Amino acid sequence: MKTKSKTTRQFLMLAAACLLFFSGSNSLKAQEENIQKMLESFVESYKTDPMALSGTFGVKVNDQWWHVTTLRKQEGYKVGKKKQYTFHNFGPHDVSLHKGKPTIPTWYFEFANLEVLENVYSGYWSASTAAAKSTAEDKVGLNIRPTEGHEFSAKDEGISYQVMEHFWKKDAVEITRFTRDQSLPSHGAALVSLYTMKDKRIAWFSLGKDEAANTEKNLDKGQVPNLLIFTKGKGKGLFGEEEVDIEPGMSVFIGPYVKHVIYNPYDQPLEGLVVLFGDNPDFVWGQSYIDFMDKQYEFLGANHKEVHQQKNAEGTK
């Protein structure tokens, strides 16, 4: 009887282990199918996005991988009385989703967990809000990383920002909602990223009673300019060496390396917009922001000349 009882217990334990295994497998499979469905929705929307860029990037959620390949389609057409201008139609683009890691060296979006992806999918967070950092060491819900062996360049960074802003918004009208509930902490403020590109970052911020922004060392000054636009509430600002009373309907331009600390001693939240003109880390290696602007103006002049030379050449054919 003891042997039979022992055998029965072993059988029941084995059956329970098998049930747990298959239950876990089914759960992982359901999670994978859920992620796949969300990514397919983003891919479908990106096919008609006028801001889509050609290229390949990866997506990692927990330990699961996908990659997306895009070939942008655009077609110029002539307008004007003399057909002297060229406008463009964009899309539908060739965009495809594939299971597994990217097959070429590139970069990828890494979601900390499924919840972050679900919040981006629902529109509760923008992708750039989930990725917003005060410093490079900050832990956030969404990171952009290079695949193994790929050297992540400033060009990659600029492309990844634009893809982040447009791929991860699946509605035809790209709406970002900003409230304190939908914000994440950055620089001491509640922040919602409205738009991020390599040369500018636009965000909504809110400071509650007794909250302050940019009080930490190395956050009170930056290598690139800022434009602060105050829309609600009152506060105090230390801009350079001058203390200013902040009120709605005013903006403050902050030049490179100018101190800017904001404090709200009042009951009502102090809210507004901030425009950051670039990435601070780009200008710590010898080139200043103003040096960069000189080069950008040179490029604008050269590009304008090239476009008009091409137009004139086409006109002589």
CATH number of the domain that residue 217 is part of: 2.60.120.10
| Amino acid in position 83 | K
Q: What CATH number is associated with residue 110? A: 3.30.1050
Residues 155 and 250 occupy one common structural domain: no
12, part of any domain: no
DSSP annotation of 270 reads E
Note whether residue 19 is domain-resident. Answer: no
The secondary element (H helix, E strand) that includes residue 35 is helix 2-46
d(CA 90, CA 16): 56
CA distance 231 to 120: 26
The residue type found at 106 is T
Looking at residue 25, its pLDDT comes to 59
Query: What is the domain count for the chain?
Result: 3
Give the pLDDT score at 14. 60
- Are 84 and 137 part of one and the same domain? yes
Asked whether the beta carbons of 190 and 125 are under 8 A apart, the reply is: no
Greatest alpha-carbon pair distance for the chain in Å reads 102
Last-in-domain residue among 143, 173, 203: 173
pLDDT given at position 137: 81
Are residues 37 and 154 located together in one domain of the fold? yes
- From 92, 108, 86, 90, select the one nearest 51 (Cα to Cα): 90
Q: Which of 173, 195, 211 is the last residue of a domain?
A: 173
Range of the domain at 313: 291-317
Query: Would residue 59 count as lying in a domain?
Result: yes
Domain identity same for 203 and 114 = no
Q: Are residues 167 and 52 in the same domain?
A: yes
Residue 88, domain member (yes or no) = yes
The answer to whether 201 touches 158, Cβ cutoff 8 Å, is: no
Q: In Å, what is the CA distance from 113 to each residue of 25, 106, 194?
A: 18, 21, 22
198, part of any domain: yes
CA pair distance 252, 270, nearest whole angstrom: 15
pLDDT at 50: 96
Paired residues of 184 in beta bridges: 191
Query: Locate tokens 């050609």: which residue?
Result: 54
Cα–Cα distances in angstroms (integers) from residue 58 to residues 52, 61, 144, 164, in the given order: 16, 10, 10, 12
Three-point CA angle 272, 276, 277, nearest 5°? 145
10 in any annotated domain: no
Amino acid sitting at position 279 = D
**21 belongs to a structural domain:** no
Residue 139 lies in a domain: yes
Whether residue 149 sits in one domain with residue 99: yes
**198/306 same-domain check:** no
Contact 94, 53 (CB under 8 A): no
pLDDT for residue 3: 54
State the helix-helix crossing angle for 2-46 and 114-122, rounded to 10 degrees.
40
pLDDT at 28: 81
Two structure tokens written together for 226: 């800022």
Per the CB < 8 A criterion, the answer to whether 90 and 50 are in contact is: yes
* Domain boundary residue, one of 157, 173, 189: 173
Are 280 and 313 members of one domain? no
Closest CA to 289 of 178, 198, 159: 198
Note the pLDDT of residue 266: 97
**Is the same domain home to 41 and 168?**
yes
Q: Are residues 132 and 149 both part of a single domain?
A: yes
For residues 130 and 225, membership in a common domain is answered with no
Residue with tokens 């193994």: 148
Query: For the stretch 94-117, what's the b/e string if a residue is b when 16 or more beta carbons lie within 10 angstroms of its beta carbon?
Result: ebebeeebbeeebbbbbbbebebb
pTM: 0.87
pLDDT (0 to 100) of residue 4: 54
Task: List the structure tokens of 254.
Answer: 């902050």
Between strands 107-111 and 55-61, the pairing is: parallel
Quick one: pLDDT at residue 10? Answer: 60
Q: How far apart are CA 185 and CA 253, in angstroms?
A: 23
C-alpha 150/C-alpha 143 separation (Å) is: 16
- pLDDT tens-digit profile, the chain (317 residues): 545 565 666 655 665 555 555 555 568 888 999 999 999 999 999 999 999 999 999 999 999 999 999 999 999 999 999 998 999 999 999 999 999 999 999 999 999 999 999 999 999 999 999 999 887 788 999 999 999 999 999 999 999 999 999 999 998 899 999 999 999 999 999 999 999 999 999 999 999 999 999 998 888 999 999 999 999 999 999 999 999 999 999 999 999 999 999 999 999 999 999 999 999 889 999 999 999 999 999 999 999 999 988 888 876 66
Look at strands 64-71 and 55-61 and give their pairing.
Answer: antiparallel
Same domain (yes/no): 231, 186:
yes
